[in-house]
Every structure is written in structure tokens, then in C-alpha cells.
Amino acid sequence: MTGTSLDAVDMAVLETDGVEISAFGPAGERKLREATRDLLLKTTDIARAWPRGEPEPVIFEEARRAVADEHFQAAESFLDEHGLSWSDFDLLGVHGQTVLHERPTAQRVGRTVQLLDADRLARLCGRPVAFDFRTADVAVGGEGAPLAPIYHAARARASGLAAPVAALNVGGVANITLIGANGDLLAFDTGPGNGMIDLMLQARGLGRFDEDGRLALAGRVDEAVLAALLDSPYFDAPAPKSLDRYDFSLTPVDHLSAEDAAATLVAFTAEAVFKAFAQSGEAPSALIVCGGGRHNPAIMQTLAARAPVPVKSAEAYGWRGDSIEAEAFAYLAARTAKGLPISFPGTTGVPAPMTGGRIVGLISA
């Protein structure tokens, strides 16, 4: 799994039938090489300017190959580190790099692009690859995201957690899964995660991200700017719904110092999460925070201070917080191979539970 933060290839091993989780294998990451990251940043800029109905940008094919090679090299070092070989695996689940995600509106269908040369990766690994998990959902009017909720429910069962409970993933965009007492799933993107903070710092030449939340912790929230950010019609739209990390403008914080801008954007992330609870009919017993955002003390402190429910990091429940998304796509790969649904009316807005994903390469009987 590579997220929109363009930070690393996250890897995780699961033994699963696509319903229950039998065992957890090792997990880890390898940082993206600078050349790959630069190529994907350029590709994302081009993708965002790509007119509908026009042929896809030529750079997409170069990026697909680069993503496949990046995953292969990351996995090679991962397997070597853990004494594994490709023959140990039945199937690989690979998300691909998102360079464009446009949610559907009344005037248009959605559009989502995850780049990966799956055929190339399958040849390099000698194993079948499950990929392209989102486009089938979008084609029938779904949001195409989030897709991890069915895994969050399986992970909660594996931990013996009693519903209702909520899992929050804070990546470039933050998304929440609300698991009801009866097992029903409601999931959607709550708002920005780390993405706006990262983009603000990068635009000001202050690094790639706010390490340890130092800038945000040194700043003060501008309540007027926060109110303006929260005035977006997105927050009044019914769930399920999805976002791209570029959907909110940084213009409202342009006049603020880096410290105050970071503090205000952290508050924006947190307040957007709390608005999500209003969309659910039952309050969860706990909020389990996954993803890179839980490493930012400013985000965790703000969530804990403002949340109406207990807030704990994934590790407090025995979850691997940096690996949940990678685990999720291993799980979704198994569901794809079994023909089980991966998206649902309460998670992406599709009319009925539906399968998704494609597989290249042969799966052993």
C-alpha cells in the first residue's frame, strides 16, 4: 500500500480466507525513493488537470511501471529481512498509487485513478496480483472509498472488541469506520488528515511534514479561520462520501504563521472527525486511531481533548497502526479471489454490496 502522502510502501502479511483472520505475519515499510516520489508528484499534478473525455496523460504509463518496480524492490528487501520467499504466498494485494480521486456529484459520475502495472509486478514476483479495487465501485455510482471498513470489522472481531466501536485512519485524508452494535457499517472520509499540513509546510519550504507536531504545538488556533474551513458544504453532505487530499484550499491559512497555520489545520482535522459522530445513530465506545497521523502528538492531543468518546492509538488494542491499510488490502485481495463483496451501501454508497478488484496471474488451486 502507498498512500497519498507519498511516504513509503507499507507491507503486511495475513493468513485469511477473506472472512476471518487466521494469523498475522510480519509487517514493515520502505520509504519511497526520491526519484519515484518526484515522478508521482508530477503525475498527480498532471492528473488533476486532466480534462474528462481526453486520452490519459502519457506520464501515467511511466508512473505505472515505476510503482510496480518500487513495490517489487520494497518487497524483495522485506522478504529477505523476514526469511520469506515469493513461493510462500498465494496472492498479493496491491492498491496502486492514487493520483486522482473525484467524488460523484449530481452532475457527474466519480473518477478515480490508481496507477500500477500489475502485469509487470506479477511477472517480477511470479505470483498473482489483485489490484484495481475502486473502479468497479465508482462505475455504478459509488464513492470508491473508503474500502478498509470491512477489514476494520474483521480486525475488531479478531481483537474481541465489542461494538459499537469506531476506527479512524489518519493519512493524507482521514476516514472513519463506525461499526454498529448489530454489525452494520457506516464509513466515509471525515476530512483532511495529514495532507493539508504537509502541503502547507512543503509550499513554504519548511520540510515534508510537521515532525512530532512541533509547529502545531507551538501555535494557536485561529478560530475564525477554523470556522471558515468548517463551513464547507462537504460536512453537511450525507454519508457515505469521499475526498481527495486537494479538495480543501490552503488559502484561508496563507496569512497565518507556520505555527498557527499548523495548529489551525490540526484543529480542522479533529473537528471534522467529531462532525462524523453526528452522522451515526449510536455513539461508539471508543475511537481507535490508525495511520501516520497518530504519530503526531498535536493531532492525538487535539482528538483526545475534543472527542466525546475515549481516544486511543491502535497499539492500545494490539493493532499495528502503521500497517492497517496494508493489512486491509491483503484482506480485500482474499475477498476478491473468493468473489466476496468489498464495498457496501453504508461505506461507499453503492446500491447493494458488490465485489471489486481484478486479478492478474494464475491462482493455485
**Residues tagged in the binding site annotation for ATP:** 3-10
Question: Can you spell out the DSSP letters for 258-313?
Answer: HHHHHHHHHHHHHHHHHHHHTTSSS--S-EEEESGGGG-HHHHHHHHHH-SS-EEE
HSE-up (13 A, CA, CB side) for residue 172: 22
Annotated binding site: 3-10
Tell me, rounded to whole angstroms, the distance of Cα 316 from its chain centroid. Answer: 21
CA distance 102 to 110: 5
**DSSP-based helix, strand, coil % in the chain, nearest 5:** 40, 20, 40
Find where cell 476506527 sits. 167
